[in-house]
Amino acid sequence: MSKRLVVYVISDSIGETAEQVIKAAISQFDCSNCEIRRFPYISEEEQIKEIFQEAIHEKNCMIIFTMVIPSLRKMLTETAKKHQIHVVDIMSPILESLQDILKEEPKNEPGLIRKLDEKYFKKVEAIEFAVKYDDGKDPRGLKKADIVLIGVSRTSKTPLSMYLAHKNIKVANVPLVPEVPVPEELFEISPKKIIGLTTNPIKLNEIRQERLKALGLRNEANYASMERILEELDYAEGLMKKIGCPIIDVSTKAVEESANIILEIMKQNGNWKL
């Protein structure tokens, strides 16, 4: 029968990393009588003292911890040695090696990985939003969006939506077609949240001609005729002026350049912060 062992996992974050490490180590032994007690979000010396008040009564125990605040790491190590309790500091050797290689001081701020995870999931959410509310699929998304892009076909609405989504911005876009009424929601949101996209008719004609070729269609289609393009652009310009939104000419701009202009407009309007 194996000895009873109690492992105290202490962390200033969730403590999952330390717990997985100790579980991996324990698996190398025939330790069937082992208990892991996890103490997450420890940030004060009093909390550590309370844990030791419990630990000192265990016959066989050890402490494994992931803490980034130097004073708490020091206290944990010294208190464990004082009570002759085995202690393992997971973070210190890694932090010291990184500090030596990178030649900079660590931030020593608990929970930074959670902030990184939150940022990642916000980006995923924004990308899913852009896909869901692309090309006017669901007008309900207009009120939920951080920004709404409007413009005729082939004015980079979708590429811009995806580019901005990677900056955690929720973007919906609406195609403007003279024969199709725009959703009422477009007039129910602030013009400051709407960006109109326009382009040079000659440039748009070239783009649409290439689009037709890619689809295996004839160039004579009304979609790419100059008369139709001028009609669409005229309609779009009138609608944008009616709404009172900023208008960006994307004729000679890369997606990144247009996106930066949109971000600047959003910052000026208080719709986005770095």
- Please report whether residue 274 resides in a domain: no
Single pTM value for the model: 0.63
The response to whether 154 counts as a known ligand-binding position is: yes
Q: Are 9 and 37 in contact (CB under 8 A)?
A: yes
The answer to whether 180 is a known ligand-binding residue is: no
Provide the 3-class DSSP secondary structure of residue 76: helix
What pLDDT is recorded for position 198?
98
Q: Give me the pLDDT at residue 117, please.
A: 66
> How many distinct structural domains can be found in the chain?
2
157 is in an annotated binding site: yes
pLDDT digits (tens, 9 = 90+) for 210-252: 988 888 887 768 898 999 999 999 999 999 999 999 999 999 9
Beta bridge partners of 171: 147
Cα angle 159-164-170, degrees, rounded to a multiple of 5? 110
39 with 161, same domain: the answer is: no
What is residue 225's DSSP assignment?
-
**17 annotated among ligand-binding-site residues:** no
Pair 13, 64 in one domain: yes
- From 84, 110, 136, the end of a domain falls on 110
In a domain, 33, yes or no: yes
Q: 66 labelled as ligand-binding? A: no
Domain containing 35 equals: 5-110
Which of 58, 79, 110 is the last residue before a domain boundary?
110
With contact defined as beta carbons under 8 Å apart, do 157 and 196 qualify? no
Check whether 156 is labelled as a binding-site residue: yes
pLDDT digits (tens, 9 = 90+) for 188-212: 999 999 999 999 999 999 999 998 8
Indicate the average pLDDT of the chain: 92
